[in-house]
Amino acid sequence: RPQGFVTIRGTGLGGSAKMSVPTILLRPDGKVWLGIIGGAIHIIDPGGGAVGVIEPKADISRGGLPKGRVLAMVNGPGDSVYIGTQQGLFRSDGAGRAIRRIDIAGRAGDGSIWALAYRAGVLWAGGLDGIWELPLEGRDTPPVRRHESARLGDSRVTAILPQADGGVWVGTRAGL
């Protein structure tokens, strides 16, 4: 049960004077990653304050976070973080230093990713074109399974909640 609330108007890491945070990720080390509207990710230590910032780059051909909004983040295997953006799916190391695009076979590389979830070696990615299942463990290039948009009722996926039995709840712009 919450013991109180704190309003944070800025992290001291630069960026917009008005901080808007569409996505938050708690890392295993206790740090918090904040996806900021301008495209950056601010990393804070709740007990110690600002730690660092991952700035978007104009040219991501050698790695990096693209310009545009960060829409979703999820902890992956090992120390990895998967980042869904307006410009596609990206993978980062735990420090936010090594970021690279993850291409999904059969999908445009710059297609937006609105929802992410990870459970039992499988990354689920949702966008305006449906939901994609990417088994990750032990593979350099994961096989991809695209799930039928028609069976979802609406292909615009906004939320994903994987279940222990391997099933998955999928929220769309038209329902669950």
Q: Which tens digit of pLDDT belongs to each residue from 51-83?
A: 889 998 888 888 889 988 999 999 999 999 999
Q: What is the rounded distance in angstroms from the CA atom of residue 57 to the CA atom of residue 60? A: 6
Structure token pair of residue 131: 């939901």
**Which range (10-14, 106-110, 153-157) has the least confidence?**
10-14
- 11 vs 86: which has the higher pLDDT: 86
Q: Is the pLDDT of residue 133 over 90?
A: no
The pTM of this model reads 0.86
Residue 14's Cβ-side half-sphere holds a number of Cα atoms within 13 Å equal to 8
Measured between alpha carbons, how far is 23 from 74 in angstroms, rounded to an integer? 10
pLDDT at residue 168 in the model: 84
**pLDDT at residue number 34:** 93
What is the widest separation between alpha-carbon atoms in the chain?
47
Instruction: Tell me the residue length of the chain.
Output: 176
